Amino acid sequence: MALDPKRPQKEIKYEEMRIYSDEELRNYTEEELKNFKIKHDIPDLDELEKGPWPSFVADAKREALHRRKLAPDRMLIERDVVEDMLGQLQLSFDEGETHWKHGGIVGVFGYGGGVIGRYSDVPEKYPSIAHFHTIRVNQTGGKFYDTNFLKSLCDLWEYRGSGLLNMHGSTGDIIFLGTFTEQLEPIFFELTHELDQDLGGSGSNLRTPSECMGKSRCEWACIDTMDMSYELTNYYQDELHRPAFPYKFKFKFDGCPNGCVASIARADMSFIGTWRDDIRVDQEAVKAYIGGEIIPNGGAHKGRDWGKFDIQKEVIELCPTQCMWMEGGKLQIDNKECTRCMHCLSVMPRALRPGTDTGVSILCGAKAPILEGAQMSTLIVPFMKAEPPYDNIKEFIEKVWEWWMEEGKNRERLGELIQRYSLQKFLEVIGLPPAPQMVKAPRSNPYIFWKEEDVPGGWTRDIKEYRARHKR
Amino acid sequence: MEDIKKAILEFASDSKKSKFYFKDMEKAVQKLLPDAKSREIKKAATELVNEGTLIYFSTGSSTMYGLKGRGITEDPE
Ligand code: SF4
Ligand code: SF4
């Protein structure tokens, strides 16, 4: 489905947005980089550059050298910002303590999130990072960018910030690292008015929704993740920018249970594409896999010889619910037992495909350790259709928010609130009957309890009548 | 809406703390105006922020509200 913009798209004049010429961007040689030393001694950070992995230290040094060689009127904050950042990090390594302090009133007008205040607590030593605020920039759907857009974004940040950025933070946004307070409003203006680009969420609000690339590139996508995320981001703008939640709240959208954005581990509300009819099987292709004509796993493990493909060992015996078998040369699946784990589909993508009656499973409550330990989301809605304008999903979301905003304590995530009140209570609030799919393993999390009104005759019984039938 | 705004300001100036969570503000407003809905209180707070009377205070992970010029150093420097 083509993108259907929610409002007319602004035509961005990239030629006017660009700040630096190509010569300015490539203003140092690799030879110069080799001999370059930043102004602080950073022995431990130098160590981090060794070894086979890419290093942020190496990247930061490039940026430091680049800034050294830019003309002074081509940057609006201090030239040394990157060098001071590295210097302070070395100090923190030496002392085993951080020298960032956070908080304070930084922000842009009308927004309660998107900017995070950071200050150095040793500014006399590292004056260029006296302020080092972070700006969250809402990433695009599926993280597809026009390179002109990225260049304009980088130019803006080089000019008004440190030039250091993070593609992408764990919530999904592009993170601009380090600028001074007086640059915040101009950056906000350029982003929103010139680049038609919004900030992401931070603080006690809806965080920037994120999604896998879904139907744009992936044949497994059971839902249009990019469309859902785009719709809900627009629909819940107020929740994104004007914090009134007890704490943060994250949505993430995975197109199928392979979970490329790991929504199950990282979102208060995880949306995972699934299907409720049968896995589509192409028996000819199954035969071709068995015969070795098609490489399993889409060729992902072909770097080594793993021997001949064995469907029994590699697929059937690894099915977590043991619901597959071969019969008369054909692969059989007992679909009602299938938990949609995606294993067989991932091994034999040309033979097996998700069904066509697709929708989402909604899980709630994942979080990193804060008040309580880390937890994964728990299945709440086994299946729901997910089609624009997603009214059924919005209705569910709002029921959950209403309860959390009412009962949640300050800084209590949804998952912790559910733990405090029990899943049974949560199901009651959102009006869902308990279902076997919600139980992780029999007897391990029994939250289906009988209530007096559910039992014929309630808790009282006629003991005489009972004794008439049962001797003591 | 004006009632809610008044109640918020009353709470903000009387409260011992110079910054507070939305929930605490909400509770205080609902004590005075039991019918005030959470959404309305949020709208009123947003208006006060837009007028420049209230300010957001954010640590990055959670957000608080405060009365502009009261107790919070606007610039921690
Ligand atoms: S989560 Fe599923 S649909 Fe989305 S990109 Fe990954 S494999 Fe494809
Ligand atoms: S998706 Fe998983 S549970 Fe379902 S049949 Fe395939 S391997 Fe078994």
Note the pLDDT of residue A1: 53
CB A80 within 8 A of CB A162: no
DSSP helix/strand/coil, A353: strand
Residue of chain B with shortest Cα separation from A204: B62
Report whether residue A379 contacts ligand 1, using a CB cutoff of 6 Å: no
Note the pLDDT of residue A368: 87
What HEC string does B22-71 produce? HHHHHHHHHHHCCCCCHHHHHHHHHHHHHHCCEEEEECCCCEEEEECCCC
Token pair of A116 as six digits: 């995070």
Q: How far is the CA of A344 from the centre of ligand 1 (A)?
A: 15
* B28 has a chain A CB within 8 A of its CB: no
Q: Which pLDDT tens digit goes with each residue over A395-441?
A: 999 999 999 999 999 999 999 999 899 888 999 999 998 887 777 66
Q: How far is the CA of A296 from the centre of ligand 2 (A)?
A: 16
**A179 and A30 fall within a common domain:** yes
d(CA A253, CA A256): 9
Q: Which pLDDT tens digit goes with each residue over A114-173?
A: 999 899 999 999 999 999 999 999 999 999 999 999 999 999 999 999 999 999 988 899
CATH value at residue A298:
3.30.70.20
Residue of chain A with shortest Cα separation from B50: A110
Paired with B65 in beta bridges are: B20, B56
Write the single-letter amino acid at A66.
Answer: H
Mean pLDDT of chain A: 92
The boundaries of the domain holding residue A340 are: 280-353
Q: How far is the CA of A257 from the centre of ligand 1 (A)?
A: 7
* A37 has a chain B CB within 8 A of its CB: no
CB B56 within 8 A of CB A244: no
Listing DSSP states for A281-295 in one string gives: E-HHHHHHHHHTSS-
Note the pLDDT of residue A152: 96
Note the pLDDT of residue A103: 63
Chain A nearest C-alpha distance from B46 (Å): 7
| A168 prior amide bond cis, ω within 30 | yes
Query: In which band, very low, low, confident or very high, does the pLDDT at A221 lie, cut at 50, 70 and 90?
Result: very high
* B17 has a chain A CB within 8 A of its CB: no
Question: CB neighbours of A452 closer than 8 A, spacing ≥ 6?
Answer: A458, A459
Report whether residue A344 contacts ligand 2, using a CB cutoff of 6 Å: yes
Cβ distance B75 to A205 less than 8 Å, yes or no, reads no
Mean pLDDT of A25-51: 95
Q: Among partner residues A103, A110, A134, which is closest to B50 by beta-carbon distance? A: A110
What ipTM was assigned to the predicted interfaces of this complex? 0.80
pTM here is 0.89
Looking at the domain assignment, is residue A469 inside a domain?
A: no
**A246 and A387 fall within a common domain:** yes
Report whether residue A76 contacts ligand 1, using a CB cutoff of 6 Å: no
Mean pLDDT of A68-72: 96
**A33 and A147 fall within a common domain:** yes
Note the pLDDT of residue A2: 63
Torsional class of A377: left (φ above 0), alpha (ψ -120 to 50), beta (otherwise): beta
d(CA B61, CA A203): 4
Note the pLDDT of residue B75: 45
- Among the CATH numbers 1.10.10.10, 1.20.1300.10, 1.10.150.20, 3.40.50.360, which is that of B2-67? 1.10.10.10
Mean pLDDT of A439-453: 68
Note the pLDDT of residue A289: 97
**A171 and A236 fall within a common domain:** no
**A31 and A134 fall within a common domain:** yes
d(CA A150, CA A269): 30
Cβ distance A104 to B21 less than 8 Å, yes or no, reads no
Upper half-sphere CA count for residue A85 (Cβ side, 13 Å): 23
Q: Which pLDDT tens digit goes with each residue over A236-289?
A: 999 999 888 999 999 999 999 999 999 999 999 999 999 999 999 999 999 999
CATH value at residue A410:
3.30.413.10
With a cut of 50, say whether residue B74 has pLDDT above it: no
Cβ distance B56 to A204 less than 8 Å, yes or no, reads no
Overall number of domains in chain A: 3
**A51 and A125 fall within a common domain:** yes
Each domain of chain B, given as residue ranges in start order, spans 2-67
| Smallest CA separation from ligand 2 atom 4, residue | A338
Cβ distance B63 to A203 less than 8 Å, yes or no, reads yes
Cβ distance B22 to A242 less than 8 Å, yes or no, reads no
DSSP helix/strand/coil, A209: coil
Residue A218 Cα: closest atom of ligand 1: 8
d(CA A376, CA A365): 7
With a cut of 50, say whether residue B77 has pLDDT above it: no
Residue of chain B with shortest Cα separation from A409: B23
Looking at the domain assignment, is residue A372 inside a domain?
A: yes
**A154 and A293 fall within a common domain:** no
Mean pLDDT of A99-114: 81
Distances (CA, A) of A161 to A66, A178, A339: 14, 6, 48
Q: Which pLDDT tens digit goes with each residue over B16-67?
A: 888 889 999 999 999 999 998 888 898 899 899 888 888 888 877 888 888 8
Report whether residue A260 contacts ligand 2, using a CB cutoff of 6 Å: no
Looking at the domain assignment, is residue A162 inside a domain?
A: yes
Looking at the domain assignment, is residue A218 inside a domain?
A: yes
| Smallest CA separation from ligand 2 atom 3, residue | A338
Report whether residue A319 contacts ligand 2, using a CB cutoff of 6 Å: yes
Report whether residue A142 contacts ligand 1, using a CB cutoff of 6 Å: no
**A112 and A156 fall within a common domain:** yes
Report whether residue A320 contacts ligand 2, using a CB cutoff of 6 Å: yes
Looking at the domain assignment, is residue A34 inside a domain?
A: yes
Of chain A, the percentage scoring pLDDT greater than 70 comes to: 97
Token pair of B59 as six digits: 């640590």
Chain B nearest C-alpha distance from A242 (Å): 7
Secondary structure letter of residue A375 according to DSSP: B
Mean pLDDT of A450-456: 82
Note the pLDDT of residue A448: 62
**A221 and A173 fall within a common domain:** no
Q: How far is the CA of A214 from the centre of ligand 1 (A)?
A: 6
CB A408 within 8 A of CB B24: no
Looking at the domain assignment, is residue A471 inside a domain?
A: no
**A288 and A370 fall within a common domain:** no
Listing DSSP states for A268-327 in one string gives: SEEEEEEESSPPEE-HHHHHHHHHTSS-GGGGTTTTS---S--HHHHTGGG-TT--EEEE
Q: How far is the CA of A271 from the centre of ligand 1 (A)?
A: 12
Where is average pLDDT lowest: A17-21, A47-51, A397-401, B69-73?
B69-73
Last residue of a domain, one of A167, A194, A221: A194
Query: In which band, very low, low, confident or very high, does the pLDDT at A459 lie, cut at 50, 70 and 90?
Result: confident
Q: Which pLDDT tens digit goes with each residue over A314-348?
A: 999 999 999 999 999 999 999 999 999 999 999 99
Listing DSSP states for A378-419 in one string gives: EEEEEEE---TT-HHHHHHHHHHHHHHHHHPPTT--HHHHHH
**A118 and A247 fall within a common domain:** no
Phi, psi torsion values for A304, nearest 5 degrees: -135, 155
Note the pLDDT of residue A446: 56
**A32 and A167 fall within a common domain:** yes
Note the pLDDT of residue A175: 97
| Smallest CA separation from ligand 1 atom 7, residue | A258
Q: Which residue has the higher pLDDT, A199 or B66?
A: A199
